[in-house]
Each structure stands twice: as C-alpha cells, then as structure tokens.
Structure 1
Amino acid sequence: MERSELAVFGAQEVRDLLDYPSCIEVVREAMMALSRGETRQLLRTMIHMGEGRTFAQMPGALSDQGMFGAKMISVFAQSDNPGVRRHRGLVTMFEPVEGKPVCVADAEEVTHIRTAAATAVATKAMARDDSRVLLLMGTGGQVHSHLEALPLVGTFERILIWGRTPARAQSVVDVWRNRLPVEVATDAQAAAVEADVICTLTGAHSPVLLGEWVRPGTHVNVVGSSGPGPVEIDNDLVAASRFIADSRASALDAAAEFLAAKAAGLIADDHIVAEIGEVLLGQVPGRQTADEITLYKSLGHAVQDLAAAAHIFEKHQSRIKT
C-alpha cells in the first residue's frame, strides 16, 4: 500500500503555524483574489439537524491551478450556555498536480484566527485613521481572537468589552488587562456612543446594536451571524451604513441583517456597495467621508479558510525541509 503523506494539524499546530500578522496578509490576498475572479467557491451549504445544530460545507479552489479543498464544520449550541455556539470541524486540502489530499487542519482554530484577521483587514481599509476607541460586543472565543488581531492594524487607547452577562465580560478583561487597555462596558448604548470601531461577535438572535446609538464616522464589523435568521444589528443601522460584504454572492444569500432590512423594504440589492476585495484593489472606496458610517459584513467564505490552510501546509513543508 502507498504510504500516507497526509499532514494533520491539530489546534495547537494551527496556532503555531498561523500567526496573526501572517494570517492578516493571507486573508487580504485571498479577498482580492476572490474579487478578481481568480478563485472558485460554492456558496456555503447547511444541513440543519434540530435546534442549535448545523452541519456546514464550504468547498473551493484558490485558483484553477492552485490548491483546493473544503471546510466541513459543525455549529452546535452549548448545552451549558445556549447563547454560545461552538464550531468544530476540518479543513481538508488537495494539491493541484495529482489531486492528492495533502493536509487536514482543525477548522475551529482556523476559523477563529482567519475571522479576526478578516475583520482586521476590513477595519484597516474602512475605519477612520484617527479611531481610538474600540468596542467588542461578545464574550466568546471570537473576542479573544479579535483582541489579538485588531491592535495590529489600529492604535486603540481604550478597548471596551460588552457582554449580555457582565461577569463574562469581566472575565475577558481579566485575561487581557496586562496586555491591552481593556475595560468592561456595562451599558451597550453608552459604549456604542463612545466607540470609533464596533465589532459584534455574538450569537444573538435579535439586535444587540441599534442604529440610533452609532455616531457618524463609526466603522462597524458585523461578524457573529453567519446565516439567515439571527441578527446582531437592527434594520436602521443597515440602511444608514455604507455596506461592504466579504462576498456579494454570499451576502445576498445568507447575510441575515442585510436580508432583514431588504425584507422590510428599506434597501435593495444595490445597497451592497462592494466586496472588501474591490476596496482593497482600489476599485471602490471603502470610506468616502469622515462622517460616513461604514459597515463590513463578515460571513466568512471558503477561500479564506483554504488560503489559511494552504499557508499552514506550506510553512510546515518549509520547516521539514530545513
């Protein structure tokens, strides 16, 4: 039998090989490649298996001649904390010469890192240069990955952590207080009024951020909801914002907040101004004025995961060759 050369990267190996500065650049390049039409991917498909239980598949190719593969992931609500969802799964990669599978990586860890990296890319491209106050809404795993990524692209003098359970927000602050200027925000509205950049990172089913709270000039990253149904922000904020998607096709299919505002008759499909890749390529401005409310809707797409996994594999290969 042919000896298997399949490399397997668990969570710790992913963390060792996929550092945040590198992932930010990898995701940035992947977003531009998507908008240039160089990559191939299908829309995410989901099999719902009862309340709080979903199995999702995300296939794609980095180019016609590049590595290809798929992410398969389960998104399950946690029995001890129904408001928190856990992403578990695998990213499987194939090489483009013989079509052999070459690696499997822990999808949960890849997702944590590349999602925060994508937010960082969008924030750098769309937030005002003088943004100094960051508000993170949520207390799950993504708040920690965003605390790793966002300080790499901005100078934040205050970082506010808000959660529906204040004790959980305090726990986040306790972890980070020696590294970053973090503090608990007990009132979501008051925190939003102060913030220059806001990230919604929750599993909320109804809005935790309202348009009437958001000041002109704020940049908002809407990250927590990855399919139709649960919304983190209200229709007014969607309608008031300059709306940029990670993938236009994905947003039209599954961006819950966009779809809700559209169903309410407040916006049409052309409210999606651009993909973030078009902004990065200089084809469309991410921000036109200092007073504009800009919004990046992050659904995540296969190309981001595959580019991150390809980077992990290539870095591993270079290490074993030296």
Structure 2
Amino acid sequence: MLSLSSKNVFELLSMNDAIRVIEKTMISVSNDKCVLPLRNVIDVSSSNRLGIMPGVLSLGGLYGVKVLSLFPENPSKGLSSHIGVVILFNPETGAPAAAINADALTAVRTAAATAVATKALSRMESSKLTIIGTGEQAEAHIEAISLVRNITKINIVGREMTRAKDFLNKVGGRFPNINFTAFKNVKDGIKGSDIVCTVTSSKKVILFGEWVTKGTHVNAVGASIPIFQEIDESMVLKSKLFVDYRPSALAQAKEIIDGLNSKAFDSSHILGEIGEVLSDKVKGRLFPSDITLYRSMGIAAQDLACADFVFQKAKKEGYGVFGDIT
C-alpha cells in the first residue's frame, strides 16, 4: 500500500488540476455513475466527531472511503480541524492500494468544488468576493475562485477583527494584485460583493437572505451536517438553489430540512445538481439579477476522484512510502 502525506498531496494536486477533476466528477455523479451512501457521523466526545464517507465512482472500478476526525478546536493547537485518511482499494483484488492524507485532500477538493460551481453560476464579470470565515478553507477558496473569476477585491469576515486582520496579513502577500479588507460584521462585509462564500463551522445562522442583493452568487460550504447552519431559510427562498448531490442536501442540510418540514418550500426548489448544470441538463443563472445559491455538502466522489489523481501521479513520479499490511 502506498502512503501519501499532506506534503505529497499539495505537491501533486494543483488547484487547477483539482478543478478539472471535480468538474468531470460532478457530471458523473449527476449521471448516476456513482454509488454514494450518505456521510455517517459518530460522536466521539461532546464536541468531536468521526465522519465516514464511502463511495464507488463506477461499478467494478474505483472505490474507497474517507475516514475523518472532526475536531473543531484543533486549529488552536496548530492542527487541522479535519484529520484523517482516504483509502483507495484495488478494484480487481479488493486489497488496500493507497492511504492518502485527507486533511490536504479535503482542503483542496472542497475549494475546487466551490470554484466549479462559481464558474457555472456567478456572473462572468464578478470581481468582488467576500469570504466569511478565517480558517483553513478560507485561503483555499481565495486561490480557487481567483482561478475562475477575475477577482480584484476580497472582504474577509471573521468573528474577531484581530483574526480577520491576521488572516488578511497572511494571504495579502500571496495575492498581491487583490485588495483585501477585514470586517467583523457579516452584513457590512458582503455589501457590494458579487460572490459570497461561507466557510465556517457555525451552529448559528451567520448569513441572512435579507442582506443579499440581486445578482449575487452565494456558496454555502461550511455546514456539512445538520447540527451546523450558516444560512437562513430566507436565503434559500430568495435564491435559485443548486446542490452538489440531492440526497445529501435533502438529508443533511439543516436549512433545507427545516424548510421542507415547515412546508416553506418543497424539494422542487432545488433546481438541480451542479453536475446537471455542467452537462446542460439544467439551466443555471438565467439573468444578471438572479441570486444563485450553491449548497455544498461535500461528497465522497470528490475525495475519491482527487485521491485517485494523486495516487496515479505519485506512482509515476515516485512519491510516497510503500508498506505491506498483509
């Protein structure tokens, strides 16, 4: 079995490569080519969880599982909040073929998936971006979205102004052609933005629909299980809603679950999966004034496709450490 570290992943998987891989993968997902059970999450303590995401990209072909610890306080210890491994199996023998660092893989693939949706749904001329959150996903999203839109101004919103400013100082040198501004208040931070991304682990709504103006594209990314919620029901109602994978969104996106239960809307409010937009089965943005919303849950297909890209490239270029576990 080949073991690949976070350093290996970052060296082998560029954001541009990840965007191309995710684009192709999401089309396959929407063409029912994949077997994707819902994410299973187990409490391991009062605040920490273990997530298990198995999947099959094609019957008789690539399959594997991501096992991920979700420890929200890890960043204060200098560690990722998402720590785990993606295991790929040999489809001919069933033997484990690769163990790949999931922290790095998740960081890249999540932002790449957002970029794919942003390219498909935001206005072409979009140049102003707001990132709500200052964690590890925030920087990855700046890189990814800057690859699909000509971003010239970015507002960073953090719970504490000092954290927002620290993050701004960290990324400013990496993106010298972008004008950064730090905010503590979300309502002020999204004013004038063409694209808004929520990348937090908030259990309380941080982005309200009444604040979002016409023409905006919103990526709601951070809440992957129903105990978290970043956007409110009005944000869903006033938007043209697209998701990565319907079964996940219907079962695990709290604002969608609550809206369905209250009969504020029905499942047809989800206009399509992003793969359906990419393959022209469903129309995305129709008018410049549309408010579009991409509800990202994160799915195993994204992890497995990016993991396989890394695995195949690692074998060719001699990366990683081989170990026999038989």
Tell me the TM-score normalized by structure 1: 0.94
Matches of 1:40 and 1:73, distance apart in 2: 19
Matches within 5 A, 1:1-322: 6-78=1-73, 86-180=81-175, 181=178, 182-320=180-318
Letter in 1 for 2:270: I
Matches of 1:188 and 1:68, distance apart in 2: 40
- 1:99-122: CA deviations, max 9, x gaps? 221100111111110000000000
**What is the Cα deviation at residue 208 of structure 1?**
1.0
The answer as to whether partners of 2:75 and 2:81 remain within 8 angstroms in 1 is no
**What is the Cα deviation at residue 320 of structure 1?**
3.4
Count of paired positions: 315
Matches of 1:264 and 1:151, distance apart in 2: 38
Matches of 1:317 and 1:202, distance apart in 2: 35
Letter in 1 for 2:123: R
The answer as to whether partners of 2:127 and 2:194 remain within 8 angstroms in 1 is yes
Q: Which runs of 4+ in 1 moved over 3 A?
A: 79-82
Matches of 1:291 and 1:222, distance apart in 2: 19
**What is the Cα deviation at residue 315 of structure 1?**
0.5
The answer as to whether partners of 1:226 and 1:256 remain within 8 angstroms in 2 is no
Matches of 2:225 and 2:192, distance apart in 1: 29
- 1:23-77: CA deviations, max 9, x gaps? 0111111111111111112111111233211111111111113211000111122
Paired residue secondary structure (2:231):
coil
Matches of 2:185 and 2:101, distance apart in 1: 36
RMSD: 1.7
Distance 1:262 1:85, change over 3 A: farther
**What is the Cα deviation at residue 271 of structure 1?**
1.1
Matches of 2:111 and 2:318, distance apart in 1: 28
Paired residue secondary structure (2:200):
coil
Matches of 2:97 and 2:304, distance apart in 1: 12
- Percent of matched pairs sharing the same residue: 37
Letter in 2 for 1:111: T
Matches of 2:170 and 2:219, distance apart in 1: 23
Matches of 2:75 and 2:272, distance apart in 1: 39
Paired position in structure 2 for 1:3: none
Paired residue secondary structure (2:268):
helix
The answer as to whether partners of 1:40 and 1:62 remain within 8 angstroms in 2 is yes
**What is the Cα deviation at residue 276 of structure 1?**
0.6
Matches of 2:224 and 2:183, distance apart in 1: 25
Distance 1:178 1:81, change over 3 A: closer
The answer as to whether partners of 2:40 and 2:52 remain within 8 angstroms in 1 is yes
**What is the Cα deviation at residue 81 of structure 1?**
5.5
Letter in 1 for 2:22: V
Matches of 1:320 and 1:51, distance apart in 2: 42
Matches of 1:213 and 1:239, distance apart in 2: 13
Matches of 1:141 and 1:176, distance apart in 2: 11
The answer as to whether partners of 1:85 and 1:203 remain within 8 angstroms in 2 is no
Matches of 2:106 and 2:140, distance apart in 1: 10
Letter in 1 for 2:32: G
Paired residue secondary structure (1:212):
helix
**What is the Cα deviation at residue 80 of structure 1?**
7.9
Matches of 1:148 and 1:290, distance apart in 2: 24
Letter in 2 for 1:117: A
Bigger mean CA deviation after superposition, 164-173 or 118-127: 164-173
